[in-house]
Amino acid sequence: MWNIRMRASKRTGISLPKTATRNRGCTEIHISGAEGIYEEEDIQKVLRAYANRALSHPKGRPDSVVISMEEIKQKPRKVQSLKVSTLSCGSPFQARTLVRKLLIYSGVSDTAINAAFAVTCSANVMRGASLVLSGSGMRMEPDKERGVRVSRLGISRSVAALLSSRLSRQGLNNSTVKEALTLASKVAACRQVRGELCISDDPEYTTGYVSSKKLGYVRVPHIKKKGEKKGGRVFFLEEDSDINSVIGFLEKTPVIIDSLSPCYGVLTINEIADSIDR
């Protein structure tokens, strides 16, 4: 199997958006990125799909697209996807209260939740995730500007087809949801992770999620206002986590989704609370 990665960017000489990074004297704006683990016979199809995706992103047209392939030597660990639901939520104000409840159900303290909101409300958007201890709220990622990037993850071809058909029934069959669910399922499979909060940095994409082994993947509509460039990801860790082993798993261990959990429709916070396996 192969890990295929795409990264599209654009150089610019003019204004400096917050997300730009200086690189050999140029300013590079990140346009889009994607990655996944694929079987050898799917490589052609994936390369074409990634190239098309790079060239048709709403953020603009890139002038550099790097696609790389790396053979996976280690046998991927097989994990089940998280169950999917969508929380009934009408505004960013309501979202804040509901996200707090979901994280508390997952065993995250108020202090840690505040630390997470500080990350996702910051104007400096990270490329990766922040690692926050679930009790003390301490931030543990070694590079606070970049964060930790989850990599080497995928979904088997047959399970991807089944997931598409289940998500279609809820009107959710798109790559944003499928890729976020895959990432959240890998993250939740890490023993030392209690939960995750994600808010897209795409100004047009206002649905985020809270996920955990307990709750599954809970989509939160209106988690931010349209037009807002802020976003981010936070992984909440057990207080006594071995940070290097967590980072090793997230970045390096190949994980493939090989079985699915159910996909539900819209649920209220009480319905979600009632569904928690105790």
By CB under 5 A, name the binding residues for Mg ion: 201-202
Among 79, 113, 125, 155, binds ligand WAQ (CB under 6 A): 125
Residues 155/188, Cβ–Cβ less than 8 Å: no
Q: Does 128 bind ligand WAQ (CB under 6 A)?
A: yes
129 binds ligand WAQ (CB under 6 A): yes
Query: Which C-beta is closer to ligand WAQ: that of 40 or that of 69?
Result: 69
User: Out of 83, 166, 186, 233, which residue is the one contacting ligand WAQ (CB under 6 A)?
Assistant: 233
x/- mask, ligand WAQ, residues 148-167, rule CB under 6 A, reads -xx-----------------
Would you mind telling me the total number of residues written for the chain in this entry? 278
Q: Which of residues 196-215 bind ligand WAQ (CB under 6 A)?
A: 198, 200-202, 205, 207-209
Among residues 232, 155, 244, the alpha carbon closest in space to that of 192 is found at 244
209 interacts with, out of ligand WAQ, Mg ion, none, CB within 5 to 8 A per kind: ligand WAQ
User: What binding mask, one character per residue, do residues 167-186 give for ligand WAQ by CB under 6 A, x or -?
Assistant: ---------xx--x------
Report CA-CA distances (Å) from 141 to 70, 89, 107, 150, 153.
Answer: 25, 31, 20, 13, 20
125 contact, one of ligand WAQ, Mg ion, none, CB 5-8 Å limit per kind = ligand WAQ
CA angle in degrees (0–180, nearest 5) for 11-58-145: 55
Query: In angstroms, what CA-CA distances link 36 with 24, 154, 183, 236, 250?
Result: 29, 5, 10, 24, 14
What's the rounded Cα separation, in Å, for the pair 51 and 45?
Answer: 10
What's the rounded Cα separation, in Å, for the pair 194 and 72? 28
Query: Which residues sit at the interface with ligand WAQ, rule CB under 6 A?
Result: 125-129, 147, 149-150, 176-177, 180, 198, 200-202, 205, 207-209, 219, 231-233
